[in-house]
């Protein structure tokens, strides 16, 4: 890369990083941490409601009374432990064999029937749903959207600057920028959110009266499920932590979660 092009690129990245650091910093109510957010809770709730409506329209809802009763029972106990202002809570079980569950801003909870045989018990299901609710209380969805907007903005400005200066390596530079942003920012940020959701989810389930030890068994079964299907990519290429790493963190957090529950 010519020296001038490199200089232009670094200037743009430094400006983008500065804007990222100061323009949208918000203190989160749940954790007290500072987070980069360009969205409001109201906007996040609107996006969550719209996405959930689409999922209900395109997906198959489960008519299994046992599955619906279990999910509703566990979800309601956990909901009582979290603070999501102005939430319009809705719990839906989808007839889908994929082992998945999610919670969206605004109070929308979805559970696939495929995760229930892996969860097996109410306690393990509480670990799953506690984790998903933590994504909402910690506003991880809004942080991801904000990060994507920031990365897209820096990329757009970089592309224009390279074009204006007729940099021949423009395409390769933009490709490198995209890969670097993914490996150096987006994926580590996503994994960090997952670890944080594990932590707070464990607190929620313990406060709701569930055994946090069940989270270990659940992730062990999830690892076995993935291994039977060829395993997962290495952690550094994934949006999620390696199962063995999240299990190790959960083991360390169990005494704290139990103490928190005892003091509630």
pLDDT at 23 over 80: no
Q: What is the pLDDT of residue 176?
A: 46
| pLDDT tens sequence across 159-217 | 555 455 444 554 554 444 443 434 344 444 467 889 999 999 999 999 999 999 999 99
Number of domains in the chain: 1
Q: Has 132 been annotated as catalytic?
A: yes
Residues 6 or more apart whose CB falls under 8 angstroms from that of 65 comprise: none
Residues 6 or more apart whose CB falls under 8 angstroms from that of 5 comprise: 162, 165, 167, 169, 173
**pLDDT band at 7; cut points 50, 70, 90:** low
User: What mean pLDDT value characterizes the chain?
Assistant: 81
The angle formed by the CA atoms of residues 82, 88 and 26, to the nearest 5 degrees, is: 55
Secondary structure E strands in 71-136? 90-94, 101-104, 108-112
For residue 67, give its domain range: 3-262
Q: 10 or 89, which is more confident?
A: 89
Distance of alpha carbon 119 from the chain centroid:
19
Which among 87, 83, 128, 105 has a CA at the least distance from the CA of 221?
128
| pLDDT tens sequence across 132-167 | 999 999 998 888 876 776 555 555 545 555 455 444
**pLDDT band at 13; cut points 50, 70, 90:** low
Average pLDDT over residues 49-61: 95
Structure tokens at 127: 């670990």
Instruction: Give the HSE-up count for residue 254: Cα atoms under 13 Å, Cβ half-sphere.
Output: 15
Choice among 44, 90, 132, 171 that is catalytic? 132
């Amino acid at each position: 890369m010519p020296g001038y092009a490199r200089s232009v690129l670094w200037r743009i990245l430094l400006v983008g990083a500065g804007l990222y650091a100061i323009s949208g910093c918000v203190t989160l109510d749940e954790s007290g941490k500072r987070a980069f957010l360009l969205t409001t809770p109201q906007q996040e709730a609107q996006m969550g409601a719209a996405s959930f409506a689409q999922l209900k329209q395109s997906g198959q809802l489960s008519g299994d009374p046992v599955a619906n009763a279990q999910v509703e029972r566990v979800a309601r106990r956990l909901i009582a432990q979290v603070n999501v202002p102005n939430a319009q809570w809705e719990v839906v079980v989808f007839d889908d064999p994929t082992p998945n569950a999610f919670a969206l801003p605004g109070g929308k909870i979805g559970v696939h029937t495929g995760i229930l045989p892996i969860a097996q018990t109410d306690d393990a299901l509480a670990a799953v749903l506690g984790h998903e609710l933590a994504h909402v209380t910690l506003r991880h969805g809004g942080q991801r959207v904000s990060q994507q907007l920031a990365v897209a903005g820096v990329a757009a400005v970089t592309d224009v600057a390279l074009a204006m200066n007729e940099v021949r390596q423009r395409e390769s530079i933009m490709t490198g920028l995209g890969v670097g942003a993914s490996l150096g920012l987006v994926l580590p940020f996503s994994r960090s959110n997952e670890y944080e959701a594990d932590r707070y989810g464990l607190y929620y389930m313990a406060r709701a009266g569930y055994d946090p030890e069940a989270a270990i068994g659940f992730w062990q079964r999830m690892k076995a499920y993935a291994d039977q299907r060829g395993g997962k990519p290495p952690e550094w290429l994934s949006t999620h932590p390696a199962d063995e790493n999240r299990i190790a963190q959960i083991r360390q957090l169990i005494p704290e979660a139990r103490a928190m529950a005892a003091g509630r």
